[in-house]
Structure 1
Amino acid sequence: MSRVRRTLAATASLAVASMTLTACFAEPSAHNAIRDFLVGWQSGDYELAASRADGDPAVVRKALEATKLDLDAASYRFHIKSVVREGEATTATFSAEVDLGENNPLWEYESTLPLRLVDGAWKVRWSPSVLHPQLKDGQRFAVKPDPEPRQNVLDRNGGALQRSGRLYVVGVRPADLGDNTASFVKQLAEVTGFAEDRLLSRVRSAPPGDFVQLATFGTDRYQRVKAKLDAITPKVTVDLQEQPVEPASPREIVGRVGALTPETEVKLGGPQRAGDSVGINGLQKEYQDHLTGSTESQVITIDLKTGNEVAVLKKWDGRTNGPVHTTIDSRLQKAADDALLAAESGTIVAVDAANSQIRAVGSRGMGQVKDALGGKYPAGTAFSIVAADALLKAGVKPSQRLRCPTSRTVGGAPFVQASQQTGGVSATFQENFAKGCVTALASLARRVTPDKLQSSAKAFGIGVKWKLPLKSFSGSMPALDSDADEAKAIAGQNVQVSPLTMALVAGAVKSGTWRPPTLVTSPAAPDPGTGQVAETPPAPVPVDPKVRSALTKMMQAGVAGNPAAQGGKGRVYGVTADLPDDMAWFVGWQGNVAVAVLVKNSDAAAVAGRFFGALENSR
């Protein structure tokens, strides 16, 4: 919860606390003094609180105000535990809840308010121990953080998927500021954009001799503000840190890391402190808290004269951070990147056919998350792999003869075969499948019922809700209410898919089982409230063995004379499909690697061939 929200919550609870206090006592007693002191302290009405203490009002006001700054506290809340009166003295025991912000747990402790009668009025006996039993004269509170360094996003073999980059961490040692703290903070706030009061409380709450991180800059931004930072007096300290912030391929999947800014500090409202690195997108963003953990913190007391630590009042170990283990194979990723170098625009998704783990996501002129995982593209005749599952089960044989005319109408819907035309010559279902003949495939609409076609689509993951930490799209098929709808579906004209969807389809035919995709193996789920996470991942769905045997032969025929088959030494299986706007698919596999290639103004099969060839050459 953000500091702003916590403060509002504390304010809202004030009326309840006041009512509780009022209901606990009856006059004549110390009721009013206890109520006014604690409510004034809790709400920041230090004038009211000081009026109920027997000390110098100015001293009490200053102490209460300083305590909030020294703790960098977002809010206080108090609860009366007991009140005991003995003659002219009364002692109230109360519990305190102090919200230290920065996603730390509440600091909870118990203390007492000793009261005495002064000129007929009850007053709190003032001493620092009223604030905390262990706080003594000549001491103050301080908060001592100990952040853990950011962890890496790793490939399947444990290699880091990012390189070290430079971050410039600007800070100060409070003891070096002397009486110039307020002036220093004001100047730094103008340069960094961080709120002046937040910077001041960070400085005030830190042990005097510790380096306090106040702002972080990447190289470009640091160079832009360096002159202004150099002009600040007393001089700021700049700590140059090497952190794993530069993503390796696949860059958009891994995600960028940047410096915490005033804007991201407000949006995150989590354990980040100025000086921390923050995931901007990709896995770095989805697993921000896991990669950074939470800062170990201590509440301590400091000797005002020496600045030395006196005692530890409370310690939080923080949440342990750790790396994110992905399924990316860096060797396959390089092959995917290299295969797209000659393409104008395109993407390639490679999965392990045996388990549907994502091994590579290459892109050129397209987005790895937006297009490769989450894109919504027409399936075209690449969808004939799925349609063939339903058709073969319905009794259509690969050897059945079908005409592939230039044009055909089915249920009132026109279909045009723009290339690889066979005119009036009949070819087999397998041959028309291999050539992607739209008119021949559409003619089979009445050979299968809509529910069987939709059942096959679901079995191959179309429209299924799966579990991935990044935005993805499993595909969609509309209701099939007519022969025209069915014909369009068989030809893939009213079916939308992502490249990831089609890579999984190819993997299902190769392995004999459709499985949902996996990108991250550890931790089990991204940070709460982020990512596209289903409660229960969908179960694997086996492919009918007879259908799989027929589809394998049909997809072997689909690459005959195809540049995809020229890559590497292993046998290649697949289909190609042309789409509107000069886009094209290749969907298939070689060995245990299933791929889907989607390109614009390029040859999808040639990209697949280069990918398979690069795999062979990199062994």
Structure 2
Amino acid sequence: MRRSILSAVTISSLVFALGACTPKPDQADNAAESFLESLSSHAEPGEFTDNPDQAQEEINSSWDSLQAEGLNTSLNNVRTNGNVATADFTMDWDLPGDRNFQYQSQMTLTKTQDDWTVRWQPTVMHPDLGANQHLELRTVPAEMATVVGSDGAALLQPGTRYRVFVDTSTGDLQSTMRQVAIELDAMRANDESVPSIDAEAKAKEAEQVDGEFSLLTLNQQQGLDLKNRMSRVEGLRFNEEQAMVRPDPNFAPDIMSRVSSVVEKDLEGSNGWKVVAATSEGSEVRELGGQDAQTAPSVDVSLSKKVQDAAQAAVDTRSDAKVMMVVMQPSTGGILAVAQTQKADEDGDAALMGQYPPGSTFKILTAFAGMQNQGLTPDSIVGCPGTQDIGGRIVANYNNFSLGNTALENAFAKSCNTTFAQVSTDLQPGQLQQTAKQFGLGVDFNIEGLDTITGSVPRGDVMLERTEAGYGQGLDLASPFGMAMVASTAASGRMPTPYLIGGPEHRTEAQGEDGNQLPKEQLDNLRRIMRSVVTSGSGSGVASAGEVYAKTGEAEINGGSHSWLTGYRGDLAFATLIVLGGGSEHATSVTNTFFQNLDGK
């Protein structure tokens, strides 16, 4: 509710010399007081001037253009010289939004016969106003902040886009929509981010609109391109408008759309304001005061331009398959990259939510559970027969290979199914499930901007469930995101809290396990056997990528098998999956390409 206009005139005390008799008040003071009182109450101050109509019009223009809610004036000093007086006073405007605009001004008064009047000129309202000018309040828009990736690259920044309008009263809507659709398809040959439209459906929508129909939005270059292509088509209008734009439209478009909607308010900043001297036509002559706009701080997201591009290029080397990769920063939980091929996109957010048997990558958890609950170490001697009957379930290694009795480290590096099926079978119900949760698998996360499912591990009350779970089969399920969480925990020593958007207001909520520090001895042992997978085992395909710790996996399902690799290098954890991709060497090859892209090789 707007406040009532308050009139307040504060008159400074004028000190007169005291003598035998008291002089009469200076009448110029009274005239100045009356003018300021009328000006403050937004009454008819023009009547106190020598040009009432013009004065009143210009005073009203300032009051209205300032959207003033009140005015306080204070008469500071009056100097009289014969029939001319000069009055100094203070103006303090009460503006919308608890803003104030205060300044000193001056007026000249003249005496004609016995009456004093204010000599009207624009400077009475402000010392910097010229002829035919008035005071005006204007908003100073805050520039939108930038969304910055974890490597410092701008992922969203203030820019320009074009909105395309169709005049529904002009021409054949069906024909217009078809022409737009054809041109968009032609543009898409050079820019995959150009949107498409269903011409028939859009024409039907437009038919329901009286006037202009908003057809679509395009980035600046796309808008200019379509505008040139459609220059001879009547009824189209291209409106340029401010918007948050992506420097790289092809960069994680689905995730960036969600980020944009989440952080929209965070990017706005605080608008400033200014009072200007404006002409009667509304042109700004000069700025007289105000407050600068405050740009909001940049919004940080965990995605890395470099890592995302490297991952996307790597999965696209297998564009014939459903390939996906999730990369995280173990020390912070930041999600650095989520990459999928177009075929994988057909299944939605498969990298984050798809549920697949993890195969032998799950042996990371089985090995750690054995270390925690059975006292196993990398040097423990375990059996690795080619096949083994465990409670009636025949477990077999790949091509029935056998290592006989061997060290746990070697059984892990060579990926013995029989070894880890036995380890898991010998665990108590719930122990493997609890270990999985320590590593984030089976924990639900509420990550702002992303929907995720890590996976699930059975409690194993039935022995067969424990047997099959030990090597990532049976009821074990995981997403690439879930396995990236497992690798991140192995790298950091505690389950990190994953996030996409930085700042406490976007903090991730975890349902279930706390990220407690894992026991150092078992953690060091786990890292040792994961390193052996690369140096002397099934993950040698990434040996050239540096000090990588990993675990391969081939998960058998009806109709084939999934190809997996998960692990970490330094402060970078990853999980790669090729749906029905066959042996783990294929996921290993994609991951090696990722590291080559990342390292510039």
- Correspondence for 2:152 among 158, 170, 194: 158
Residue of structure 2 in register with 1:133 after alignment:
none
Equivalent position amino acid for 1:438 in 2? N
The residue identity in structure 2 corresponding to 1:605 is: T
* C-alpha distance after superposition, 1:195-246 (max 9, x if no partner): 868989xxxxxxxxxxxxx7763377995999799645xx967437786146
1:358 aligns with 2:335: yes
Which residue of structure 2 lines up, in the alignment, with residue 542 of structure 1? 517
Shift of 1:567: 4.9
Task: Report the Cα distance in structure 1 between the residues aligned to 2:282 and 2:571, rounded to whole angstroms.
Answer: 64
CA distance in 2, matches of 1:436, 1:250: 36
Q: Distance in 1 between matches of 2:237 and 2:313?
A: 46
Contact 1:568 1:616 in 2 (8 A): no
Q: Alpha-carbon deviation of 1:576?
A: 0.4
Deviations 1:245-304 (A, max 9, x none): 46556414543xxxxxxxxxxxxxxxxxxxxxxxxx432233344346799999xxxxxx
Q: 1:516 to 1:384 in 2, by over 3 A?
A: same
How many Å separate the matches in 2 of 1:606 and 1:515? 27
Q: Which amino acid aligns with 1:588?
A: G
Residue type of the alignment partner of 2:245: P
TM-score (norm 2): 0.57
* Counterpart-to-counterpart distance in 1, 2:228 and 2:394: 62
Q: How many residues align?
A: 409
| Alpha carbons of structure 1 residues 145 and 608: separation in structure 2 relative to 1, 3 Å | same
Q: What's the CA shift for 1:558?
A: 1.6
Paired residue for 2:302? Answer: 327
Matches within 5 A, 1:510-549: 510-522=491-503, 524-525=505-506, 534=509, 539-549=514-524
* TM-align CA RMSD: 4.7
CA 1:307–1:614: 2 relative to 1, 3 Å: closer
- Counterpart amino acid of 1:502? M
Residue in structure 2 matched with residue 590 of structure 1 by the alignment: 569
SS in 1 for 2:324: strand
- Please say which of residues 157-166 and 501-510 is displaced more in the overlay: 157-166
Which residue, 312, 315, 325 being the options, matches 1:340?
315
Match of residue 528 from structure 2: 553
Q: Which of 452, 466, 484 pairs up with 2:464?
A: 484
Q: In 1, distance between residues paired with 2:403 and 2:240? A: 76
Identity of matched residues, %: 24
Residue 283 of structure 1: aligned partner: 259
Picking from 591, 596, 601, the partner of 1:613 is 596
Kept in 1, the 8 Å contact 2:432–2:459? The answer is: no
Which structure 2 segments of 5+ residues have no match? 1-96, 98-137, 177-201, 275-279, 285-291
Residue 389 (structure 1) aligned to one of 346, 368, 380? 368
CA contact (8 A) 1:170 1:215 kept: yes
Offset from partner CA, 1:129-173 (integer Å, 9 cap, x none): xxxxxxxxxxxxxxx99876665432113312258987324689x
Confirm or deny: 8 A CA contact 1:153 1:161 kept in the other structure. Answer: yes
Verify the 8 A CA contact 1:475 1:498 in the aligned structure 2. Answer: yes
1:357 shift after superposition: 1.8
Q: Which residue identity does 1:406 align to in structure 2?
A: T
C-alpha displacement of 1:508: 1.6
Residues 154 and 324 in structure 1, CA contact (< 8 A), matched pair in contact too: yes
Are residues 1:449 and 2:428 paired?
A: yes
SS of structure 2 residue aligned to 1:384: helix
CA distance in 2, matches of 1:499, 1:571: 21
SS at match of 2:369: helix
Alpha-carbon distance in structure 1 between the residues aligned to 2:373 and 2:479 = 27
How far off its partner does 1:589 sit? 1.6
Mark the CA change 1:523 to 1:169 in structure 2 (over 3 Å): closer, same or farther. Answer: farther
Q: 1:467 to 1:247 in 2, by over 3 A?
A: farther
Q: Indicate how the Cα distance of structure 1 residues 569 and 348 shifts in structure 2: closer, same or farther if over 3 A, else same.
A: closer
Deviation at 1:459, TM superposition (A): 0.9
CA contact (8 A) 1:296 1:318 kept: yes
In structure 1, distance between residues paired with 2:526 and 2:309:
30
**1-structure distance, mates of 2:339, 2:550:** 19
Assess, with a 3 A threshold, how the Cα gap between structure 1 residues 183 and 330 changes in structure 2: closer, same or farther.
closer
1:410-466 deviation per Cα after TM superposition (whole angstroms, max 9, x unaligned)? 3x4x34435253248333333232232223321223421123222211111122232
* Residue 501 in structure 1 maps to residue 475 in structure 2: no
Distance 2:529 2:493 in 1: 15
Structure 1 segment 119-130 matched on structure 2, within 5 A? none
Relative to structure 1, is the Cα distance of residues 355 and 446 closer, same or farther in structure 2, using a 3 angstrom cutoff?
same
Paired residues for 1:48-447 under 5 Å: 151-161=145-155, 167-169=161-163, 193=206, 217-218=217-218, 223=226, 231-232=234-235, 238-239=239-240, 244-245=245-246, 247-248=248-249, 250-252=251-253, 254-255=255-256, 281-291=257-267, 323-343=298-318, 344-345=320-321, 346-365=323-342, 366-367=344-345, 370-397=349-376, 398=378, 399-406=380-387, 408-410=389-391, 412=392, 414-417=393-396, 419-423=398-402, 425-447=404-426
Bigger radius of gyration, 1 or 2?
2
Instruction: For residues 335-371 of structure 1, give each alpha carbon's deviation from its aligned partner in whole angstroms, at most 9, with x where no partner exists.
Output: 3233334334312222222222222223224249712
Contact 1:507–1:593, Cα closer than 8 Å, also in 2: yes
Cα distance in structure 1, aligned partners of 2:169 and 2:315: 55
Q: Tell me the alpha carbon deviations over residues 107-148 of structure 1, each in whole angstroms, 9 at most, x when there is no partner.
A: xxxxxxxxxxxxxxxxxxxxxxxxxxxxxxxxxxxxx99876
Gaps of 5+ in 1: 1-104, 106-143, 173-180, 201-213, 256-280, 299-304, 310-316, 527-532
Report the CA distance between 1:516 and its aligned residue. 1.7
Aligned counterparts of 1:505 and 1:218: Cα–Cα separation in 2: 40
Distance of 1:537 and 1:248 partners within structure 2: 37
1:613 is displaced (CA, Å) by 3.3
Alpha carbons 2:149, 2:305 under 8 Å: kept: yes
**What is the aligned partner in structure 2 of residue 577 from structure 1?**
553
Distance (whole Å) between structure 1 residues aligned to residue 355 and residue 232 of structure 2: 47
Structure 2: distance between partners of 1:152 and 1:571: 35
CA 1:217–1:520: 2 relative to 1, 3 Å? closer
Is 2:574 the partner of 1:599?
Answer: no
CA gap 1:567/1:607 in 2 versus in 1, 3 angstroms: farther
Give the Cα–Cα distance (whole angstroms) in 1 for the partners of residues 211 and 483 of structure 2. Answer: 50
State the alpha-carbon separation in 2 of the partners of residues 433 and 190 from structure 1: 62
Q: 2: distance between equivalents of 1:396 and 1:478?
A: 22
